[in-house]
């Protein structure tokens, strides 16, 4: 059966189909790269396909000449790293007890409800801002980290993964004299690397990509994380909003409203997070529990 | 027994949780711990000869907020709270401005909403129109009426009066002045016809004088291969999907039939009515339907916005369209850079009958500058705005001042963007510069006597003309030449002005109550009907049904409100 003709046909067809779909996903990014290296007027005439026309790097020079880009990059790295560390620890600490049965953890029901409420309801924009403001977190990097430090979705993910780990392993650890904390750290966590990698990815991508909290909680543009900076650059600078007298006064604005600069911005801001994927790849391994419980 | 107890406990805990959350969100507004006490500025003596630019001794301190362009750059060591303008406010006026927050673009409205909701308003404010009126009515803003005459400098008064004072009048709430509007220019929104001169010459066509000429040119541009590449890839006339916009606009075409897509027109009798339900509109749509049927309009126009049409223009596929004065800065320039053979002219819009066509103009009242009610020196706002007028718009200003406080020619940084309440006499500025520059070019005026900003533009234009008007080598020179030179878009606007051809939209205020509720539905109805008629998927007679529906679905009520607004704003005083 493994080598039957129909099987082979299926494999070939499958590979072709998937490659084709991957290629379709790649096309916009290729176009983005081509546009970012092309000259402004050719781009504005929509004549750039997958290869740059009028090759130049002025867009990238412009971006890297702006000190704000690096300030924002640093804030994003800071929030991503701190946010990741904090959220990972909190998620594990919440998920582990909740993965236990009610017999072991008596208040489990209450806590499940407690967390479920946060999943369904939230305070809304203005109350959230008021809370952050009254806590004097506005303008601080913690305003970007604390309000979403425990994402219930990730907790559910971890919780369900913990449940798939055979209870016998826990029993064995307890019989050997380990406490709950030791069991969690020494038995559960090493076995949960795939799910830890998954939520790590979720957290990193979310922190890297979120821009709205930066806009709301940061008072000055020099405190903006990268994506808020990108958002103000890409969406706000629109020729239609600039009067021609403003342009006559400052013709440099013409250059920065071009699509090639925007594409270059998008590229420069998203590339770092794309590089995370290959490094997390090796944790997505199956079959780690194979053979741990016999009989 | 035990089980019931835990359940009761759980129930009460959840109830407590919910209550706490409710209380937290409800208290938000009430728990504000009082504004930080004002530094006691009562000690500042008001000198007897206090005037528009007199310094405070000792200095006063004011918190402020700012909306930004989005591309602010600073000299090394400077930032928003320490730049050429904040230093000038401190040294020349004795006012220390302390920006609490600053934001660009749409985030600005968000931040204002937050500040209003948390009652955390800075002392000097830049407010979106809606919030300005809300706060003024709530008594949160200082009344500037007693200070305006004494403290507004002559230059500021001239700036605010550039449009005849119409925009200034919108700032009054119940007869009192609570803020200074950020004024815009009506004239710059007038449509004109942009044509590829090189195509006209190639096909031996005259400059259009009537709508029939325009149609003739459109036919030739579509069918006679003006770009000479042997492929039928050019469109007759460029239009885009929205009824009002800059490039590929319908307004200039509608105006040929004395109707308007989105404007409010005040008739001879003083009654304001909506331009799109005028009888001429039916003919205009019928004509467009004809053009569409003859394949002169891009079949995809219904899904193209002005940027997409701009791409066609830049790519050399469109050589005739209605647009505003700014085209030399936009797609028309890209077309030149891509193909230096291309040449553009702009001409006044044309009429379908003997009556002259009048392009419609409008402004949007976006922002007002205001002071918080509890500030001891509300006139400080006027002094701050005066300083900008004194440095930038004063006819006696020097090139050096302009380089220091306006655009720095070396770094290209626009320092004027860091001023608080930077106002331009937008209505007059390009008109005046056009006149000054061309007077100098014709030898009627000496270059030293014109405004330094105009001198800059003059130099670029002169340089372009002296070097043989080589578009390919100096596209920016072409740019200024077409913008303010002897053969420019502002020449067309000057023609409109001299012949009283500009039709100002009578309404340009905050959306009225019914507009807020039903405006979006009505706009959609209008756009769908119009596009269906043009593309031939609905008969022209549908226009009559549209007018009926428009009136019934709230149009009549909106018309009434617009008239009331106009009378209250302009007639009562």
pLDDT of residue A166: 87
Domain spanning B191-358+511-571, CATH class: alpha beta
Give mean pLDDT, residues B541-570.
93
How confident is the model at residue B47, as a pLDDT?
Answer: 60
Interface test with B, best of A117, A221, A230, A255 (most B CBs within 10 A): A221
Mean per-residue pLDDT, A161-185: 89
Which member of A134, A215, A245 has the closest CB to residue B426? A245
Q: Do B315 and A47 touch (CB under 8 A)?
A: yes
What are the pLDDT digits (tens) for B439-497? 999 999 888 888 888 998 999 999 999 988 888 888 889 999 999 999 899 999 999 99
Query: What integer is the mean pLDDT of B314-340?
Result: 89
Residue whose C-alpha is closest to residue B256's, from B189, B211, B195: B211
> d(Cα B112, Cα B118) in Å, to the nearest integer?
10
- pLDDT above 90 for A101: no
The confidence score (pLDDT) of residue A122 equals: 82
User: Each residue of B148-160: pLDDT tens digit?
Assistant: 999 999 999 999 9
pTM of the model: 0.84
Task: From chain A, pick out residues whose CB is under 8 angstroms from the CB of B69.
Answer: 236-237, 253
Neighbouring C-beta atoms of residue B164, cutoff 10 Å = 11
Contact between A80 and A209 (Cβ < 8 Å)? no
Using a CB-CB distance cutoff of 8 angstroms, which residues of chain A are in contact with residue B75?
A: none
What distance in Å separates the CA atoms of residue B84 and residue B395, rounded to the nearest whole number?
A: 21
Q: Is the pLDDT of residue B321 over 80?
A: yes
Q: Do A216 and B120 touch (CB under 8 A)?
A: no
Q: Which residue has the higher pLDDT, A95 or A2?
A: A95
| Interface with B, mutate which of A35, A43, A45, A260 (most B CBs under 10 A) | A45
Evaluate if residue B314 carries a pLDDT over 70: yes
| B428 CB within 8 Å of a chain A CB | no
- Has residue B43 got a pLDDT over 90? no
CB-based contact, A133 to chain B, within 8 Å:
yes
Q: What is the pLDDT of residue B30?
A: 39
Q: Does B246 touch chain A (CB under 8 A)?
A: yes
Give, for B128, the enclosing helix (H) or strand (E): strand B124-128
Report yes or no: A46 at the B interface, CB cutoff 8 Å.
Answer: yes
On the question of pLDDT at A99 being above 80, the answer is: yes
Q: Is residue A94's pLDDT more than 60?
A: yes
* A232 contacts in chain B (CB < 8 Å): 70, 104-105, 107
Output the pLDDT for position B23: 47
Quote the pLDDT of residue B36. 42
Q: Which residue has the higher pLDDT, B364 or A237?
A: B364
A43: left (phi over 0), alpha (psi -120 to 50) or beta: alpha
Distance of residue B354 Cα from the nearest chain A Cα, in angstroms: 33
The full set of domain ranges for chain B reads 45-186+365-418, 191-358+511-571, 429-498
CATH number of B45-186+365-418: 3.40.190.10
Contact A133 B118 (CB under 8 A): yes
CB contact under 8 A, A215 and B10: no
Residues B474, B336: Cα–Cα separation, whole Å: 10
B74: distance to nearest CA of chain A, Å?
A: 10
Q: Which residues of chain B neighbour A233 with C-beta distances below 8 Å? A: 70-71
Burial call A229-259: b when 16+ CB within 10 Å, e when fewer: bbbbbbebbebeebbbbbbbbbbbbbebbbb
| Cβ of residue B86 closer than 8 Å to a chain A Cβ | no
Q: Is pLDDT above 80 for B395?
A: yes
pLDDT tens, residue by residue, A220-278: 888 999 999 888 877 766 666 667 777 787 777 777 667 888 888 889 888 888 888 88
B282-286, B380-384, B426-430 — which is least confidently predicted?
Answer: B426-430
Q: How far apart are CA A151 and CA B220, in angstroms?
A: 63
- State the complex-level ipTM: 0.80
Whether A248 sits inside 8 A of B457 (CB atoms) is: yes
Distance between CA atoms of residues B434 and B501, nearest Å: 18
Alpha-carbon distance of B184 to B487, in angstroms, equals: 24
**With 70 as the cut, is the pLDDT of residue B41 above it?**
no
d(CA B510, CA B561): 11
Q: How far apart are CA B423 and CA B156, in angstroms?
A: 8
Q: How high is the pLDDT of residue A289?
A: 58
B102 → closest Cβ in A133, A134, A221: A221
């Amino acid at each position: 059966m493994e080598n039957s003709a129909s099987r082979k046909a299926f494999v070939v067809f499958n590979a072709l189909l998937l490659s084709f779909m991957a290629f379709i996903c790649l096309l916009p990014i290729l176009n983005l790269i081509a546009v970012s290296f092309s000259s402004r007027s050719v781009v504005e005439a929509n004549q750039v396909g997958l290869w740059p026309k009028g090759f130049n790097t002025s867009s990238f020079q412009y971006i890297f000449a702006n000190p704000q880009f690096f300030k924002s990059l640093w804030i994003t790295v800071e929030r991503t790293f701190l946010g990741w560390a904090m959220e990972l620890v909190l998620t594990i600490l919440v998920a582990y007890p909740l993965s236990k049965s009610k017999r072991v953890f008596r208040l489990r029901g209450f806590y499940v409800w407690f967390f479920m409420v946060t999943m369904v309801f939230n305070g809304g924009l203005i109350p959230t801002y008021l809370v952050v403001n009254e806590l004097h977190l506005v303008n601080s990097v913690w305003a970007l980290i604390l309000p979403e430090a425990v994402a219930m979705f990730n907790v559910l993910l971890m919780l369900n993964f913990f449940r798939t780990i055979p209870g016998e392993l826990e029993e064995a650890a307890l019989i050997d004299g380990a406490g709950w904390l030791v069991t969690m750290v020494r038995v559960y966590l090493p076995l949960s690397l795939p799910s830890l990698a998954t939520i790590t990815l979720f957290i990193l991508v979310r922190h890297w990509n979120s821009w709205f909290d930066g806009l709301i909680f940061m008072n000055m543009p020099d405190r903006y994380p990268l994506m808020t900076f990108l958002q103000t650059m890409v969406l706000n600078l629109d020729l239609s909003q600039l009067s021609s007298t403003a342009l006559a006064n400052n013709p440099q604005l013409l250059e920065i409203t071009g699509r090639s600069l925007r594409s270059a911005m998008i590229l420069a801001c998203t590339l770092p997070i794309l590089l995370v994927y290959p490094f997390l790849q090796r944790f997505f391994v199956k079959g780690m529990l194979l053979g741990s419980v016999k009989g | 027994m035990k089980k019931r107890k835990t359940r009761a406990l759980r129930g009460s805990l959840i109830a407590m949780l919910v209550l706490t959350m409710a209380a937290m969100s409800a208290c938000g507004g009430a728990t504000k711990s009082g504004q930080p006490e004002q530094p006691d500025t009562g000690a500042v003596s008001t000198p007897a000869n206090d005037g528009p630019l007199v310094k405070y001794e000792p200095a006063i301190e004011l918190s402020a907020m700012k909306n930004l362009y989005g591309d602010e750059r600073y000299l090394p060591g400077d930032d928003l709270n320490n730049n050429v303008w904040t230093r000038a406010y401190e040294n020349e006026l004795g006012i220390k401005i302390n920006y609490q927050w600053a934001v660009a673009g749409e985030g600005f409205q968000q931040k204002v909403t937050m500040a209003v909701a948390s009652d955390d308003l800075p002392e000097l404010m830049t407010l979106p129109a809606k919030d300005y009126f809300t706060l003024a009515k709530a008594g949160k803003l200082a009344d500037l009426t007693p200070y305006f005459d004494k403290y507004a400098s002559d230059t500021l008064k001239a700036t605010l009066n550039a449009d005849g004072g119409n925009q200034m009048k919108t700032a009054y709430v119940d007869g009192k002045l609570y803020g200074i509007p950020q004024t815009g220019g009506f004239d710059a929104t007038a449509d004109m016809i942009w044509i590829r001169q090189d195509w006209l010459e190639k096909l031996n066509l005259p400059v259009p004088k009537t709508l029939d000429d325009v149609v003739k040119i459109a036919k030739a541009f579509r069918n006679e291969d003006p770009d000479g590449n042997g492929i039928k890839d050019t469109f007759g006339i460029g239009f885009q999907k929205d009824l009002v916009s800059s490039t590929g606009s319908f307004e200039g075409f509608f105006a040929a039939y004395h109707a308007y897509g989105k404007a409010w027109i005040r008739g001879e009798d003083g009654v304001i009515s909506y331009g799109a339900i005028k009888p001429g509109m039916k003919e205009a749509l019928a004509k467009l339907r004809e053009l569409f049927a003859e394949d002169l309009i891009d079949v995809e126009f219904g899904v193209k916005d002005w940027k997409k049409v701009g791409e066609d223009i830049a790519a050399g596929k469109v050589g005739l369209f209605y647009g505003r004065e700014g085209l030399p800065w936009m797609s028309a320039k890209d077309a030149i850079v891509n193909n230096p053979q291309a040449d553009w002219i702009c001409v006044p819009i044309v009429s379908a009958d003997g009556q002259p066509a009048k392009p419609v103009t409008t402004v949007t009242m976006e922002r007002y500058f205001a002071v918080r009610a509890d500030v001891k020196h509300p006139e400080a706002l006027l002094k701050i705005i005066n300083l900008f007028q004194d440095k930038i718009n004063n006819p006696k200003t020097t090139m050096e001042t302009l380089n220091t406080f306006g655009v720095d020619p070396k770094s290209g940084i626009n320092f004027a963007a860091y001023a608080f309440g930077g106002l331009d006499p937008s209505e007059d500025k390009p008109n005046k510069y056009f006149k000054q520059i061309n007077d100098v070019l014709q030898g009627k005026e000496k270059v030293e006597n014109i405004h330094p900003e105009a001198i800059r533009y003059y130099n670029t234009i002169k340089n372009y003309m002296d070097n043989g008007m080589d578009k390919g080598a100096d596209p920016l020179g072409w740019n200024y030449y077409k913008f303010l030179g002897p053969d420019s878009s502002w020449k067309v606007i000057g023609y409109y002005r001299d012949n009283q051809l500009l039709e100002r939209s009578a309404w340009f205020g905050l959306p009225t109550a019914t507009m807020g509720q039903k405006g979006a539905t009505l706009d959609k109805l209008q756009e769908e009907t119009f596009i269906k008629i043009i593309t031939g998927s609905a008969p022209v007679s549908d226009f009559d049904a549209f007018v009926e529906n428009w009136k019934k679905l709230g149009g009549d009520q909106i018309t009434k409100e617009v008239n009331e607004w106009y009378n209250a704003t302009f007639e009562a005083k």
